[in-house]
């Protein structure tokens, strides 16, 4: 049985590892986060879709999946570490640290697949590094001999918590640093996770993933600007954008409180990295990054006008029905409101543990939750939010408003 080492057992790496186990591989999940390692060894898999969670428990028990905090020898190395952005610059420390580790144990016949999202040219740079470091092996860049190892990139396109469904219906972009590497990676991903693949070069695969999320970011920014214009003219943006979208060649996104997660706020900067004189992408990023502060300011004005002193907010995560709060605009809004209301502001999110160290006043959902609050604002419409809305109405919060897309009840 071939062994797959998945480096980075987070939102991307963990579900992929389980799918590889389903595909007949023995899987080693490698992570340096000791808290995550402990959770995984205990069989706990937070933020994982149910079908994968059940399989994970069974594979762990049978020894098909194992957990390690150090990299060990394998046949396939899947690199699934984060590639964040700081001050508009890609931070690739974790990625290159993983490659350094792999280079030390790489052997003839092995292969590396990057599933992390990277700036264009990253895979080629890794190929050059490996060629220098492992001169005892024939590089996949060699043109006169068959390579001793393979290197390809296939950035993950599936949405977290929907991986098991989307991995089979969304085409994977697979690009190797050579045609041999591309064919090898396509074969591994097809047999391992049942992926349908589009073959391309490494740079093309890097570019496509970044372009699709940049498209979404720019279109959300447009929707948010159209929202501002409609409100300036005292028009209902929701109704008007729905009317505009009846045209067969128009598909305007919905405006919102901001953009979150690890992809859409990050990938435009990875795409723009090193390219001078770009205008649209930075402006779109500014529009969407400014949105939470604008929404918070409007909420504060509304609360002041309604004499609200103790608001309750629903939702911390960056999207509905997910426990993922990375780059969450809702969390940014809450932090802005805390500057005015301090500990008087309460927050509920049924998908987060009360012990979550987010610096906010998370409270539990119970029958007395509305006893001491004078406003209820829905930042994230998790499944079942309507029940809380009904509970708020029964408690006497009956005045309904919509503040920049946020449904609000006050007394």
Per DSSP, the three-state class of 10 is: coil
Residue 102, Cβ density class (10 Å: 0-12 exposed, 13-18 middle, ≥19 buried): buried
CA–CA separation, 182 vs 198, rounded Å?
A: 10
CA–CA separation, 171 vs 286, rounded Å?
A: 31
**Residues known to be catalytic:** 209, 263
The full DSSP string for 171-203 is PEEEEESSHHHHHHHHHHHHHHH---EEEEEHH
Tokens at 223, concatenated: 């929707």
Angle at 403 between CA 400 and CA 406, to 5 degrees: 85
Instruction: Using the Cα atoms of residue 23, residue 28, residue 30 and residue 35 in order, give the sign of their dihedral.
Output: positive
Q: In what order do the strands lie in the sheet with 346-348?
A: 346-348, 311-314, 375-378, 406-410, 399-403
Enumerate helices (H) and strands (E) in the chain, giving the number of each. Answer: 13, 15
Cα within 13 Å of Cα(339), Cβ side: 10
- The H-assigned helical ranges of 106-157 are 122-133
């Amino acid at each position: 049985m071939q062994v797959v080492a998945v480096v980075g057992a987070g939102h991307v790496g963990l579900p992929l590892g389980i799918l590889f186990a389903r595909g007949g591989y023995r899987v080693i999940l490698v992570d340096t986060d000791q808290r995550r390692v402990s959770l995984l060894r205990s069989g706990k898999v937070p933020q994982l879709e149910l079908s994968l969670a059940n399989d994970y428990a069974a594979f762990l028990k049978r020894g098909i999946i194992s957990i390690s905090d150090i990299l060990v020898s394998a046949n396939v190395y899947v690199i699934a570490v984060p590639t964040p952005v700081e001050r508009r610059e890609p931070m690739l420390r974790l990625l290159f640290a993983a490659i350094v580790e792999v280079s030390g144990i790489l052997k003839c016949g092995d292969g590396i697949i990057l599933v992390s999202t990277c700036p264009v040219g990253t895979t080629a740079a890794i190929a050059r590094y490996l060629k220098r470091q492992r001169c005892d092996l024939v590089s996949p860049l060699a043109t006169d001999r068959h390579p001793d190892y393979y290197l390809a990139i296939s950035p993950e396109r599936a949405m977290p918590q929907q991986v098991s469904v989307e991995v089979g219906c969304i085409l994977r972009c697979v690009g190797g640093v050579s045609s041999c590497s591309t064919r090898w990676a396509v074969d591994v991903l097809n047999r391992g996770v049942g992926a349908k693949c589009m073959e391309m070069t490494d740079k093309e695969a890097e570019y496509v993933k970044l372009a699709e999320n940049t498209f979404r970011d720019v279109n959300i920014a447009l929707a948010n600007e159209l929202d501002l214009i409609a409100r300036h003219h005292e028009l209902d943006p929701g109704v008007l954008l729905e009317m505009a979208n009846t045209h067969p060649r128009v598909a305007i996104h919905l405006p919102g409180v901001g953009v979150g997660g690890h992809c859409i706020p990050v990938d435009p900067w990875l795409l723009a990295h090193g390219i001078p004189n770009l205008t649209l992408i930075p402006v779109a990023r500014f529009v969407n990054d400014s949105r939470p502060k604008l929404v918070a300011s409007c909420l504060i004005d509304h609360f002041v006008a309604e004499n609200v002193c103790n608001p309750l907010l629903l939702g911390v995560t960056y999207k509905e029905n997910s426990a993922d709060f990375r780059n969450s605009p809702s969390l940014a809004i809450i932090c802005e409101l805390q500057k005015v209301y301090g500990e008087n502001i309460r927050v509920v999110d049924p998908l987060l543990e009360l012990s979550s160290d987010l610096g906010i006043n998370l409270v539990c959902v119970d029958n007395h939750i509305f006893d001491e609050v004078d406003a209820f604002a829905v930042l994230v419409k998790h499944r079942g939010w309507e029940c809380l809305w009904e509970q708020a109405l029964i408690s006497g919060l009956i005045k309904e408003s919509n503040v920049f897309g946020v449904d609000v009840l006050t007394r």
